[in-house]
Structure 1
Amino acid sequence: MEPQTKVDILVATPGRLMDHIKMTKGFSLEHLQYLVVDETDRMLREAYQSWLPTVIQFTLPTNQDHFQDDTAGRTLLHPLTTIRRSGVERGFKGKCYPRLAKIVCSATLTQDPSKLSQLELHHPLLLNSGKKRYRIPTKLESYKLICTSNIKPLCLIVLLQELCGEKCLVFTKSVDDSHRLSTFLGFFEELPFKFSKFSSLQRESTRRKTLAAFKEGKIDVLIGSDIMARGIHIDGLKYVINYEMPQYVKTYIHRAGRTARAGESGSCFTLLGNKQIEYIDYIEFGVDNCYYWDFLLTNASTMNHLDICF
């Protein structure tokens, strides 16, 4: 009796997939039809035990000669190959070719040929949702707040108060900045929101507990660096705040992309100094359908009160 599997779709990290390939008895990718790689640019940048060439190698049938000819000159179709409909053939019309289809997804897909070559793509078809290289979700609104550096932390507190305790991610440029901002907020008693930091220096178990508390609503505000910008999905997350402007457009895309996911609406706020305003033009030029609206804090009395307390 041939071995069978009840698994149709397998979702795994590269490391765990490598563990199965090496240690799980009977585990095989030989009959794999679709390989989906999410966050492709990140996956290609990090080796993960050379996971990609290993996975591609293990999807090949034992007999790798896909295009054998018999004595009559007819092409023999290997059992693990297939003929797809003409709309997807892309250069293979009338030919037999391996059945594995690769789908690579990323909001910031690399255009570096040396990196893309690792995927071993054949006649790839690029699907882009916009005219420019980057695009933000349709229901994402971008706002800018202009404030001087000496009152920037106070502006953040007032903004968080005006967001009425909704879940919010606050991005800083480094782990140290996240720690300093969290320490600063800790000086204020009776803030109307609960906050915590999320750092790569924390143990993984600590980060998991913090993220779980945030998802459950026990924490309103999560403060961290770009470790939070990739691979994290929070249901119902409406707000993202760039406490410090990201250096690259692709970083902004991933930060802002934590909200307004799967057709939901969301807002991204960016706090800027007077000398940083021109950077907004850089973002708007590089991103499809991105326009920054001015956002004015309405509760000036709270700002004055916080300034006196501090």
Structure 2
Amino acid sequence: MTFKELNIIEPLLKALNEKGYTNPTPIQQQAITPALADRDILGIAQTGTGKTLAFSLPIIQHLHLQKADERVKGIKALILTPTRELAIQINECLNDYTRYTAIRHAVIFGGVKQNAQVAQLRAGVDILVATPGRLIDLINQKIIDLSQIRYFVLDEADRMLDTGFIHDIKRLLPRLPKNKQTLFFSATMPKEIADLSRSILKNPVKVEVTPESSTVDTVKQYLYFVEKTEKSELLIDLLKKDRAKSTLIFSRTKHGANKIVQILCRAGIGSSAIHGNKSQNARQKALSDFKSHSIQVLIATDIAARGIDINQLDLVINYDIPNVAETYVHRIGRTGRAGNKGTALTFCSNEEKKMLKDIQNLTGKNLIVLKQ
């Protein structure tokens, strides 16, 4: 099945093609068609399964196809997510997906000053990605009005429970219009989340993807416990010991990927980064140089790395541990392919130990600890 067979319109197909998306993932195959038909969705899926595209494309397509006289001012779609990292990631995806449309989107989250976010909101936004705390704050300041919302996405609902945002969600729900389409996603369904889903979904289509937990047996997995401030020094030491290895390094953010390139450049280690802010030509050149061994080190975000398929990749380094355990499986699966052996190194700081535990619980394996 292709995206074209899911009746995705041309501007979206063009954007997907430029980013290397060809065939939809299982969650996209199951969710996009009913979502395009205005059905509510109950999705049970983890990050890394392609669910951001599954809920974004129908919303973008609906908004793009609305006639000019049907368009109303104000925020029309709200995507609610538990963490600023995930909110930023979703907004980066929207940059890619809306490239050939006039749809405007923005992201808001706490922990930073609100001025720039407020300025963007006042300039006009169709799709808003938000964390609950900042959203409620701006609603209380009468900066955000949710009365025109037609599409509502609650992403990673079970993590809302873990992060203590569930009460904020319940406070927000009465502020949303009753006549809207709701897309509800959660990796697990504890009782409180199941009850919440039943209270806000109308005759939903249930879509489910089994989490991928198996790690490739041909990949040796090692772990370094290292403070965040010492990661760059460890990385340089490791890369200088064996410059011949083709190494793919994962960063959680685009800014982080750029910073790693700068650090390696100062250390005399040639590298390139690929992420959503890079042009398609720049990404293709970086990938081509990496495959031809013109450069030995490539730094990537998880989203940008989806198009990477290299049979003889020696080493994967998790400079940042992914927020979601399944993403670790996808990352290290890029080495040890086609019968070749591979190595995966993971850097774990104190604040990342919980995420490490999630990975070990998912895979059923303890990573081998190495000393610096």
Distance 1:111 1:233, change over 3 A: farther
* 1:244, distance to aligned residue in structure 2 (A): 0.8
What's the offset of the Cα at 1:282? 2.3
1:220 matched residue in structure 2: 296
Flag the structure with larger Rg.
Answer: 1
> Which residue of the partner structure matches residue 14 of structure 1?
3
For 1:139, give the aligned amino acid: T
SS at match of 1:116: strand
Write the distance in 2 (CA, Å) between the matches of 1:237 and 1:16: 33
Among 288, 291, 297, the alignment partner of 2:366 is 291
How does the TM-score come out when normalised to structure 2?
A: 0.46
Are 1:240 and 1:258, in contact at CA under 8 Å, matched by a contact in 2? yes
Conserved? CA contact 1:229–1:254, under 8 Å: no
Percent of pairs identical after alignment?
26
Alignment gaps of 5+ in structure 1: 1-11, 22-35, 51-109, 118-125, 298-310
Question: Quick one: distance in 2 between partners of 1:198 and 1:16?
Answer: 29
Structure with the higher helix share, 1 or 2: 2
Task: Report the CA distance shift for 1:266/1:181 in structure 2 as closer, same or farther (over 3 A).
Answer: same
1:171 to 250, 270, 283: 250
Checking the alignment, whether the CA contact within 8 Å between 1:229 and 1:258 is kept in structure 2 is: no
Q: Does 1:40 align with 2:26?
A: yes
Aligned pairs for 1:192-271 (under 5 A) are 193-271=269-347
Give the deviation of 1:231 after TM superposition: 3.4
- Cα distance in 1 for partners of 2:274, 2:295 equals 12
From 207, 216, 221, give the equivalent of 1:116: 207
Partner of 1:54: none
Structure 1: 4+ residue segments shifted above 4 A: 15-21, 47-50, 110-113
Which 5+ residue runs of structure 2 have no aligned equivalent? 11-21, 32-50, 59-186, 190-203
Distance 1:209 1:38, change over 3 A: same
* Structure-1 separation of matches of 2:258 and 2:311: 25
Instruction: Verify: 1:145 aligned to 2:220, yes or no.
Output: no
**What is the CA distance between 1:275 and its match in structure 2?**
4.7
CA distance in 2, matches of 1:115, 1:158: 49
CA contact (8 A) 2:290 2:298 kept: yes
The CA distance in 1 between the partners of 2:205 and 2:242, in whole Å, is 44
TM-score, L = length of structure 1: 0.55
Change (3 A) 1:258 1:42: farther
Amino acid at match of 1:144: L
Residues 231/225 of structure 1: CA separation in 2 closer, same or farther (3 Å cut): same
Given the superposition, is the C-alpha separation of residues 179 and 16 from structure 1 closer, same or farther in structure 2, using an over 3 Å criterion?
Answer: farther
Residue 287 of structure 1 aligns with an amino acid whose one-letter code is T
SS class of match (1:284): helix
Give distance in 2, aligned partners of 1:161 and 1:13.
43
Deviations 1:229-273 (A, max 9, x none): 423201200211111111111111111111112332211111112
Distance 2:6 2:339 in 1: 30
Aligned to 1:135: 214
Once the two structures are superposed, what CA deviation does each residue of 1:67-113 show, in whole Å capped at 9, x if it has no partner? Answer: xxxxxxxxxxxxxxxxxxxxxxxxxxxxxxxxxxxxxxxxxxx8899
Aligned equivalent of 1:95: none
2:303 counterpart SS class: helix
What RMSD, in angstroms, separates the aligned Cα atoms of the two structures?
Answer: 3.6
How far apart in 2 are the matches of 1:276 and 1:224? 19
Q: Is the 8 A contact 1:136 1:257 kept in 2?
A: yes
Q: Distance in 2 between matches of 1:20 and 1:162?
A: 50
How far apart are 1:198 and its partner, in Å? 0.9
Give the match's secondary structure for 1:263. Answer: coil
Query: Which amino acid in structure 1 is aligned with residue 3 of structure 2?
Result: P
Contact 1:215–1:235 (8 Å) recurs in 2? no
Q: How far is 1:295 from its partner?
A: 2.1
In structure 2, the CA distance between the partners of 1:114 and 1:37, relative to structure 1 (3 Å rule), is farther
Contact conserved, 2:251 with 2:301, CA < 8 A, in 1? yes
